[in-house]
Amino acid sequence: ADAAHLIAVRDLAARYGHIEALRPTNLHVAPGEFVTILGPNGAGKTTLLRAMTRLIASTGQVVFRGRDVTSLKTHQLADLGIIMVQEGRGLFGDMSVRENLKIGAYKLAGSQVDHDRQLEKVFSLFPRLKERISQTASSMSGGEQQMLAVGRALMADPKLLILDEPSLGLAPRVATEILSTLGALNKEGLGILLVEQKAPLALKLAQRVYILSSGSVRAELPTHEIKSHHDLALYYFS
């Protein structure tokens, strides 16, 4: 069954010392699927994403496009197309937009054609980045920085884009713009795994949602089955 998934994790678990931040968890993203993870603060959402991408030590299995990638490191997963936009964005503040995007395109280093094509794509999605191509990342607004973080991830030509709360700290209008862009990318076939607190929009974009609480998946359901926030609240606190 795993071969039918873009990514699948089995019994993925992680701990910080004696804190079991992520209990054995199963989760998958189908090819072309948009999956959102919701859950209260401290639920283990960031831990889950970090465990999946091997930014922290974890146990359990990870299968990507039918291949067991459990033993691979973060950069090897990135080479396969698993790209994460981390909370806090991880931009190089003193570097320009152009330079940050170039770093994202490390995989395409050999091919100027691929590089230019990805760059055009990023600029078409986020015209603001083109206008600010020479500006340093740290001098841009929060929203622009998040656009740059997403743009940089796209430069790596991801097969699965993982994002940890990209709307955090952003004005509603900018957050909506960025999340809507993720929806557009998904419509083109990109698999997306999104951790998000802005539940209404994230649920509108996603086809499926996992509710995480106290380090465990409490529910997994297609978003069309969620009729109201009341339903969600029940999952949060059950």
Q: Tell me how far, at minimum, the Cβ of 119 lies from ligand ATP, in Å.
A: 32
Q: Which helix (H) or strand (E) holds 128?
A: helix 127-131
Looking up tokens 């999946």 gives 52
Residue number, 81 or 166, with CB nearest to ligand ATP: 166
Query: CA 175 → CA 3, 119, 133, 171, 208, distances in Å?
Result: 34, 22, 21, 6, 20
Residue number, 42 or 90, with CB nearest to ligand ATP: 42
Residue number, 45 or 89, with CB nearest to ligand ATP: 45
Q: Tell me how far, at minimum, the Cβ of 44 lies from ligand ATP, in Å.
A: 4
| Best CA proximity match to 8, nearest among 34, 39, 32, 29 | 29
Q: Tell me how far, at minimum, the Cβ of 17 lies from ligand ATP, in Å.
A: 7
Residue number, 42 or 127, with CB nearest to ligand ATP: 42
> Which residue type occupies 33?
E
d(CA 14, CA 71): 15
Q: Tell me how far, at minimum, the Cβ of 55 lies from ligand ATP, in Å.
A: 11
Binding interface with ligand ATP (CB under 6 A): 16, 19, 21, 39, 41-47
